[in-house]
Structure 1
Amino acid sequence: MIARIFGLSFVVTIITLVVAYLYMGWTGLALCAILGILEVSLSFDNAVINATILERMTAFWQRMFLTVGVLIAVFGMRLLFPLLIVWITGGLDPAEALRLATNPPPDGQSHFADGRPSYETILTEAHPQIAAFGGMFLLMLFLNFVLTDREPKWLTWLEHPLAKIGKLEQLPVVLAALSLVLAAEYLAADGIRSTVLIAGILGIVTYITVDGLSSLFMSDGPDDQPAQDGAAEDGAGESAAGRRGPTPVTKAAGKAGFFLFLYLEVLDASFSFDGVIGAFAITSDPIIIALGLGFIGAMFVRSITIYLVRKGTLSEYRYLEHGAHWAIGALAVILLLGVEYEIDEIVTGLVGVAFIGASLASSIRANRRDAQRKSPSSVNA
């Protein structure tokens, strides 16, 4: 199973490294490999969250995520998205934005001799708006998870009271909006406060729209009736945000599958915002960034996601989903802080690894306790 799931990722990685070598020699190959390794090692929380959604999709939409989704991640988020940001915020036409990206100023300077800002500078200056959009989208995802009453609970002392107050209608929206106002007021500079607010509102609206549409079509429409995956499996949810219950897994098909796929792509994009910006600390070449983060990193993250789904890891390790959502909450806070402060992506990744590792350790201990209770010696005792 491992060879079947990861085989294509290894083939793509080898081809990508060859292309990087042909493009920039050994330096390009090394930079591409470093970016790919960083993307994979720091994106496990992304893979876990993707898996919680992907397990509710039919085999067709899972294949779409692994094929079309990769193209969106590589060309859309890692190559075209930065160009689009530079095009819009820099007032440049697309051709000029591409020329600027492939011809940086000498010696790593932030501006050209004639005073024009570099591609990296323009993209970095747009980071507050990008962070506001991605931060609010991820914060809505996190709040919808922790404010929903579910079993089992991981951090019982915290998740139990959160589930109680979560019974208030639209509390996630209220808390997210309040967080956005505070971030815009105390973190955003005067000249960009309104754009940060608009970007954050768009992040909230995007989440509500895509999540709501996917939930709607999961339960409505005769031609989109979801297929049941068998009563032995566990985890159908109330929404694409990952809410799970005791009913069988519901496989989204038709329009439901499309909107769940769309939700997954927006979620994946929100995770990648910070990585694309942070990659400029390693190289400013957009081609190397697209090769390392996209063809290597994004491909392996998708393979890990598929592996988690096929292996049933989320069911085996009961708290893994909780840890991933708490990592998302931390990432959302870091993105909002990024409106004003520069936070290294390594810090973001280590926070995610800490939550994932802690939840995995808790799951293993819980499984051992269950096994001890079921053992013959414990029964006889």
Structure 2
Amino acid sequence: MRQFYAAFMVAAFALCIGAGLGYWQTASLTGVLMGVEAVAILALMETAESMDNAIVDYGILKTMSPQWQRRYMSWGMPISVLGMRFLFPILLVAIVAGLSPWQAARLAMMEPQRYAHIMLGARDMIASFGGAFLLLIALNYFLDDDKTHHWVTWVEKPVARLGGVPALPVGVTLAVLMGVSRLMAPGHDPLAFLFWGCGGIVAYILGKEVLVWLIGEPGAAPLMMKGGLLSFLYLEFIDASFSFDGVISAFAITTDPIIIALGLGVGAMFVRSMTLSMLKTNALAEYVYVEHGAFYTILILSLLMLCGVLVSVPEWITGLVGLLLIGGAFLASLAHKRQG
């Protein structure tokens, strides 16, 4: 429980700021309640939808030194909240609208409705980049012929045998991007969708494969220190990919960029606290299928993100899928534990 103390303190601070902003904007008790409600809803939404993120982070963190594990919170939280939840939407709006970052920031503060409209207009690009990146994460997990545990055996065993085929995950991801782009309705830009999807593939290869190559090299302490930094940056990039959809969805609740950063930041804090708690107790070692449930969730989330340009997918579906898959994997792990 100690790992969650900081998260509860940050939540209390964020709710107070939300209340203050609500009063400043409306000078009424209703505004105070609306500010608190928006922060709370966004925090709950981010926490509920990021259980798979916590499990994936755990798998990377357990390979890192205690020093870098601590930096996951001390350095990682400002990057996660200020970088991804506040600066990223502003920079994206600046790119899409052809504005300077300062103009985009001013637009966010002075004209939040127009800012939200531009941000929502970039949904296809974000979905393509983030969806391709997450799809590669999931495919590389399942297309692994060294895996020893399989949850859905009749699916995972045959798929795992294909892990020896070079570049198969990249080929599958490109095929999905091409298929979705062909089905896009008028008003969408298939070339932009493919461009940003290929950007997600490149980012994964540069982030993951170069990282594995560097850390796999035997060498001196400076190289290992560099490897720790690269692992940390890769971890932050994964967190950013998971949060793409949440940042866009937040505009359905409020257009205030500060409230969005506060609410999603509280959720990110609880997710990271959850990850550290799992790391401290080594809980996943006892529940062998929970990791499988998380990666099935990532697989479906990535496909929903990519197919979201074709059909509207309600946000509650993503959360429900994650809850059912991770919950089912947990129950299967309990049954396996009793049998073993």
- Give me the whole-angstrom Cα distance separating, in 2, the residues matched to 1:137 and 1:340: 19
- Give me the whole-angstrom Cα distance separating, in 2, the residues matched to 1:160 and 1:302: 32
Cα–Cα, structure 1 residues 197 and 189, in superposed 2: closer, same or farther, change >3 Å?
Answer: farther
Match of 2:174 among 162, 166, 177: 177
- Give me the whole-angstrom Cα distance separating, in 1, the residues matched to 2:309 and 2:218: 42
Q: Deviations over 1:227-247 (max 9, x none)?
A: xxxxxxxxxxxxxxxxxxxxx
1:217 paired with 2:214, answer yes
Q: Are the counterparts in 2 of residues 136 and 176 from structure 1 also a CA contact under 8 Å? A: yes
- Give me the whole-angstrom Cα distance separating, in 1, the residues matched to 2:185 and 2:319: 24
Name structure 1 gaps, 5 residues minimum.
Answer: 111-117, 227-252, 371-381
Alignment of 1:3-152 (within 5 A): 3=2, 5-24=3-22, 25-104=32-111, 118-149=114-145, 150-152=147-149
1:68 alignment partner AA: W
Q: Deviations over 1:315-337 (max 9, x none)?
A: 11001111100100001101101
Q: Hey, what does 1:198 align to over in structure 2?
A: 195
- Give me the whole-angstrom Cα distance separating, in 1, the residues matched to 2:210 and 2:218: 12
1:166 alignment partner AA: G
- Give me the whole-angstrom Cα distance separating, in 2, the residues matched to 1:201 and 1:132: 8
1:206 alignment partner AA: A
Q: Hey, what does 1:155 align to over in structure 2?
A: 152
For structure 1, which segment, 171-180 or 91-100, has the greater mean C-alpha deviation from structure 2 after superposition?
91-100
Name structure 2 gaps, 5 residues minimum.
Answer: 23-31
Q: Deviations over 1:190-244 (max 9, x none)?
A: 6521111111111011111111122122221412499xxxxxxxxxxxxxxxxxx
Q: Deviations over 1:117-174 (max 9, x none)?
A: x111111110101000000000101110111121111110000110122221111111
Q: Hey, what does 1:276 align to over in structure 2?
A: 247
- Give me the whole-angstrom Cα distance separating, in 2, the residues matched to 1:132 and 1:182: 12
1:293 alignment partner AA: L
Match of 2:63, SS state, is coil
Query: Cα distance, 1:45 vs. partner?
Result: 1.0
- Give me the whole-angstrom Cα distance separating, in 1, the residues matched to 2:268 and 2:330: 23
Q: Hey, what does 2:25 align to over in structure 1?
A: none
Query: Cα distance, 1:91 vs. partner?
Result: 1.6
Match of 1:166, SS state, is helix
Percent sequence identity over aligned pairs: 41
Runs of 4+ in 1 over 6 A off after TM superposition: none
- Give me the whole-angstrom Cα distance separating, in 2, the residues matched to 1:40 and 1:159: 28
1:20 alignment partner AA: G
CA RMSD of aligned residues (A): 1.6
For structure 1, which segment, 298-307 or 38-47, has the greater mean C-alpha deviation from structure 2 after superposition?
38-47
2:172 alignment partner AA: L
Q: Are the counterparts in 2 of residues 17 and 32 from structure 1 also a CA contact under 8 Å? A: yes
Q: Hey, what does 1:355 align to over in structure 2?
A: 325
- Give me the whole-angstrom Cα distance separating, in 1, the residues matched to 2:49 and 2:241: 14
Match of 1:256 among 206, 212, 227: 227
Q: Are the counterparts in 2 of residues 213 and 259 from structure 1 also a CA contact under 8 Å? A: no
- Give me the whole-angstrom Cα distance separating, in 2, the residues matched to 1:215 and 1:225: 16
TM-score of the two chains, using structure 1 as the length reference = 0.83
Q: Are the counterparts in 2 of residues 214 and 257 from structure 1 also a CA contact under 8 Å? A: no
Higher helix share: 2
Q: Are the counterparts in 2 of residues 324 and 355 from structure 1 also a CA contact under 8 Å? A: yes
2:101 alignment partner AA: P
Match of 1:202, SS state, is helix
Q: Hey, what does 1:302 align to over in structure 2?
A: 272
Q: Hey, what does 1:326 align to over in structure 2?
A: 296
Q: Hey, what does 1:187 align to over in structure 2?
A: 184
- Give me the whole-angstrom Cα distance separating, in 1, the residues matched to 2:225 and 2:186: 44
- Give me the whole-angstrom Cα distance separating, in 1, the residues matched to 2:155 and 2:7: 39
- Give me the whole-angstrom Cα distance separating, in 2, the residues matched to 1:191 and 1:336: 13
- Give me the whole-angstrom Cα distance separating, in 2, the residues matched to 1:188 and 1:309: 45
Query: Cα distance, 1:285 vs. partner?
Result: 0.8
- Give me the whole-angstrom Cα distance separating, in 1, the residues matched to 2:220 and 2:109: 48
Match of 1:179, SS state, is helix
